[in-house]
Amino acid sequence: MHVALAGGIGAARFLRGLVRVVPPAEVTAVVNVGDDLERHGLHVSPDLDSITYWLAGVIHPQQQWGRADESFVVASELERFGEGRWFSLGDRDLATHVFRTKRLREGAPLSVVTAEIARAFALDVTLLPATDDPVATRVTTVDGRDLHFQEYWVGERAAPDVAAVRLDGARAAAPAPGVLEAIAGATSLLLCPSNPVVSIGTILAVPGVREALLASPAPVVGVSPIVGGEVVRGMADKLLPTVGAEVSALGVARLYADLLDGWVIDVRDAALAPRIEAELGLRVVVTDTMMDDVEVATELARTALSLCRGDRAA
């Protein structure tokens, strides 16, 4: 079983490659839920949904989030009621949130509802939220404001400089059923090319997850989300400094150093490989990590799995 720690879009694109290399039924993704938010009274799980839509082949191809062939009738009508559109939900997408919210109100844990949604999209991959407990990634800006991650990320387009990021509720949160078991029983553990602070970091902030990774006999291999000193997607460059990390494939590797056995970096960062190997004692593989099409994603997944098997030349 291959277990991947996953954020949103970057992880989704990587997983789309992974399921072409190994049977989807042998893949479990442990997904960040720190970004989850309530919109119009509905529970939205942006990372779970991005992965679901990508794997189901219904993702909006240009946006890379939300549904293809999307309309915004409900969101437009909701403006009448003073409901803002800073985080706009499409009609097709909304059906997922309506169903999720209904089931949560009925008392189903998020992990159960997540499995139901995955089944509704005919996914063979197992998707697990990092936790069933309420957690929320909060951002403290340099100018002293405390914002929900999505208010910062979508509402303010990540413009303000960030002083600190934290996962509210983390201390009282437990890993969702199956998370620790999947990690303990894995043959390979993968850290997707997701935001190290607000995607992978928030999964690792759930008590027990980091310990399970350290205790697992399976190799841990990550894919750098930073290419050529820049983020591939998103705005990790605003967030890495808050945890004292340099915005580079080396900086992120340092963050994960206690966990990693191997690290996959982009060809543009080839020059960093010897330094990462020497400083952190990791096996590093250099390859194309820009997953502009599914073939690159597939090759990248193959490379990461080869590295898990101890095979440096992928």
Please identify, using beta-carbon distances, which residue of 62 and 80 lies nearer to a copy of itself. Answer: 80
Part of the chain binding a copy of itself (CB under 8 A), chosen from 100-108, 143-151, 222-230, 285-293: 100-108
Chosen residue from 85, 102, 157, 309 binding a copy of itself by CB under 8 A: 102
Size of interface with a copy of itself, in residues (CB under 8 A): 28
60 binds a copy of itself (CB under 8 A): no
Rg (CA), the chain: 19
CA distance 263 to 260: 7
CA distance 198 to 232: 15
Smallest separation, CB 44 to a copy of itself (Å): 12
88 binds a copy of itself (CB under 8 A): no
3-state secondary structure of 77: helix
261 binds a copy of itself (CB under 8 A): no
User: Degrees (nearest 5) of the Cα angle 17, 18, 23?
Assistant: 125
Please identify, using beta-carbon distances, which residue of 79 and 258 lies nearer to a copy of itself. Answer: 79
CA distance 204 to 192: 13
Distances (CA, A) of 64 to 69, 77, 88, 177, 217: 13, 25, 15, 29, 35
Maximal CA-CA distance, the chain: 60
CA distance 299 to 287: 9
Chosen residue from 15, 110, 115, 117 binding a copy of itself by CB under 8 A: 117
120 binds a copy of itself (CB under 8 A): yes
Interface map 149-188 toward a copy of itself (x if CB under 8 A): ----------------------------------------
Chosen residue from 40, 233, 268, 302 binding a copy of itself by CB under 8 A: 40
Chosen residue from 99, 108, 147, 166 binding a copy of itself by CB under 8 A: 99
Beta-carbon-side half-sphere exposure of residue 169 (alpha carbons within 13 Å): 19
* Token pair recorded at residue 233: 């997607």
Q: Which positions ≥6 away from 307 have C-beta within 8 Å?
A: 219, 221, 261, 262, 264, 283, 285, 314
210 binds a copy of itself (CB under 8 A): no
Smallest separation, CB 280 to a copy of itself (Å): 45
57 binds a copy of itself (CB under 8 A): no
71 binds a copy of itself (CB under 8 A): yes
202 binds a copy of itself (CB under 8 A): no
Quote helix, strand, coil % in the chain, to nearest 5.
Answer: 40, 20, 40
Please identify, using beta-carbon distances, which residue of 50 and 96 lies nearer to a copy of itself. Answer: 96
For a copy of itself, the binding residues (CB under 8 A) are 40-42, 71, 73-74, 77-78, 80-83, 91-92, 94-96, 98-99, 101-103, 105-106, 116-117, 120-121
